[in-house]
Amino acid sequence: MEIFVERSFLDKNIQSISENLNFNISFKKPSNTSFLQYGLNGLSFVKDLNNSQQILHVDFSKGSLGWRIKRAQHEINIKKALGKSKDQMLIFDATAGLLSDTMIFLSLGHKVIALEQSKIIYSLVQDAIFRCTNYDELFKNLEFHNADSIDFYRQKKIKSDVIYLDPMYPDSKKNAKRSGAMEVIKSILEIENFSAEAENILDEFRLLNYQKIILKRPLKSKKIIVILIIKY
Ligand X SMILES: C[S@@+](CC[C@H](N)C(=O)[O-])C[C@H]1O[C@@H](n2cnc3c(N)ncnc32)[C@H](O)[C@@H]1O
User: Would you count residue 98 as binding ligand X (CB under 6 A)?
Assistant: yes
Indicate the residue among 5 and 126 with the shorter CB distance to ligand X. Answer: 126
C-beta atoms surrounding 159 within 10 Å: 12
- One of 82, 92, 97, 128 touching ligand X (CB under 6 A): 97
Taking CB under 6 A as the binding criterion, the range among 20-28, 33-41, 98-106, 155-163 that sits at the site for ligand X is 98-106
Q: What's the longest Cα–Cα distance across the chain?
A: 56
127 sits near ligand X (criterion: CB under 6 A): no
Interface positions, 188-217, toward ligand X (CB under 6 A):
189, 194, 198, 201
Amino acid letter at 227? I
> Binding string to ligand X for residues 133 to 162, with x set by CB under 6 A, is what?
---------------xxx------------
Inter-residue contact 93 to 113 (CB < 8 Å): yes
Binding of ligand X by 121 (CB under 6 A): yes
Residue 34 touches ligand X, criterion: CB under 6 A: no
**Rounded least distance, CB 194 to ligand X, Å:** 6
Shortest Cβ contact with ligand X: which residue?
Answer: 97
Residue 99 touches ligand X, criterion: CB under 6 A? yes
- Calculated CA dihedral for residues 144, 147, 149, 154, nearest 10 degrees: -110
Phi, psi of 164 (to 5 degrees): -110, 125
Neighbours of 98 (CB within 10 A): 22
Q: How far apart are CA 133 and CA 13, in angstroms?
A: 16
Q: For residues 164-193, which are near ligand X according to CB under 6 A?
A: 166-168, 185, 189
At 3, give phi and psi (nearest 5°).
-110, 115
3-state class percentages of the chain: helix first, strand second, coil last, to nearest 5: 35, 20, 45
Q: Which residues make up the interface to ligand X (CB under 6 A)? A: 94-95, 97-101, 115-118, 121, 148-150, 166-168, 185, 189, 194, 198, 201
